[in-house]
Amino acid sequence: MVRTEISLFLKNAPGELARLAAMLGDAGINIDALTIQDASNYVRELFQARGKSLKRIASAASYNSMRKDSADFALIRFLPADGTINKAIDLLSRSDYVFDIMPVIAVELENRPGELARIAGRFGEEGININYVYGSVSGPDAKCLFVFCPEDIDHAAAIFKEE
């Protein structure tokens, strides 16, 4: 099913994640899935992609400066619970967070070997590249929630309607 993910850069410092999570929690916004990575890795991958597919628009010194500065931040992607995306966007806007939203495919999978391969195989069979994926499970008998960011969201949404 298509869901809306929120991505934001958060200062890479003790207590920052707790502040964000408390703010969302106090507003009654539950987080269904979350991933965090050092922003310098994200920026490095972005630069590599730009070098391969886009015309370079800044000097090497500028890119190196951005990569160094990005180490001070973490890239957080999270999926607010169904029905709370607008509330989360409003709250983050009022709190001066810089963020972006992205449509993603969220799929509940059985917690058994081979399920991720089956779903990833469906993307591959349809020729849809997966930009990134993250997932979680709460226990051996619970279903897993996996979040996929495909290059072609409309195509992916059409094939995963029946999932």
Q: According to the model, what pLDDT value does residue 160 have?
A: 80
Q: According to the model, what pLDDT value does residue 98 have?
A: 86
Domains of the chain: 2-159 (3.30.2130.10)
Q: According to the model, what pLDDT value does residue 53 have?
A: 43
Higher confidence at residue 96 or residue 38?
96
78 SS3 class:
strand
**What is the pTM for the complete model shown?**
0.79
Q: According to the model, what pLDDT value does residue 55 have?
A: 46
Q: What is the pLDDT of residues 52-84, one digit of tens each?
A: 444 445 555 554 555 555 567 888 999 999 999
Instruction: Name every residue whose Cβ is closer than 8 Å to that of residue 70 and which is 6 or more positions away in sequence.
Output: 39, 40, 42, 43
